[in-house]
Amino acid sequence: MKKNDSNDGGQLILIAQLDEIEKICDWIRTTLQKEPVEWVPPLAEEGRIEIYFDSLDEAEKAHQNLPANWKLLSVETKKYGEQDWTTFWQHHFKTEAIGENLQIVPEWETIPETGRTTIVINPGLSFGTGGHFTTRFCLEALEESIKTIAPERMIDAGTGSGILSIAATKLGVPTIEAFDYDPICVEQSIENAQRNNVENQIKFYQADILQPGWFSAPADLLCANILTSVLLEAAPLIVRATKKRMILSGIREVEADAVADTFVQLGCREIMRDGDGHWCGIILDSSS
């Protein structure tokens, strides 16, 4: 097979009945560690799920590994170029005000003069834009936590587009370490930090939250917007890495009690939680 150009990626497109969509998306998040894009037209009986990969080979491998018992109406893999992904985001990602004083602005839009603290983002292959409930929750909780506990140091676990670290820097956190399992996300985070002229204020690196060694010392504040299954497995390490407060999201509402209970049993205290009927975020204070 001909090797893809460096700017080409792969796309896996699934068409399924509506009652299958949630199950399929859960599997994609848990198994592929990707955030699916769901398309469900009004009054439709079927929906479309798109998953984006760094290469066509990755998309085809994911296609081969789909569960055999799924009743899919159609499956397609195809190559897309960088321009296709940019066009996607230009259609779906718009300037958005978040919290008391933040605004997230895609790099292709003019920055509005609102007096808010601006984070300029090009999400690339990641999904950290502020449009999803989990990212919005983390940004709002981050803004409030910086006022409340005045952290000197923050860890951003699963940084994605780098949006939380960039926001934290602009809100005054002096020392930030941010990592992701996916090296592409690390590259995109660095590029986004450069767009905001804060690349020298954040240490970005690749690491696996499930493996010891991803933090050099405990931080006052830790943000982790990752999957519930990963949060639960990494809970002991997350607690050891946090001195004061942790902001957790990427959690389905039906899983919130399990996440909170796990961290409470490790000595944490739940401060608050919020959800949109589907996704949830939790803030906890550490006992250390």
Could you tell me the fold of the domain covering 93-285? Rossmann fold (3.40.50)
Output the pTM of the full model. Answer: 0.76
CATH of 9-86, one of 3.30.70.330, 3.40.50.2300, 3.40.50.300, 3.40.50.970: 3.30.70.330
**Residue spans per domain, the chain:** 9-86, 93-285
pLDDT value, residue 102: 93
**What's the pLDDT score for residue 41?**
67
Please enumerate in sequence order all residues whose Cβ is within 8 A of that of 74, keeping only pairs 6 or more positions apart, or say none: 13, 14, 15
pLDDT at residue 124, rounded to an integer? 60
Place of tokens 């300029």: 120
pLDDT given at position 106: 84
Pairing of strands 219-225, 242-252: parallel
Mean pLDDT by 10 residues, the chain (288 residues): 52 90 85 79 79 87 92 89 57 78 86 89 61 85 96 95 94 96 88 94 96 94 92 96 96 93 97 90 90
pLDDT at 5: 44
Answer yes or no: same fold for 9-86 and 93-285: no
Residue whose tokens read 């299954």? 229
Quick: pLDDT tens for 81-126.
655 555 565 655 678 889 899 998 888 878 888 889 999 987 665 5
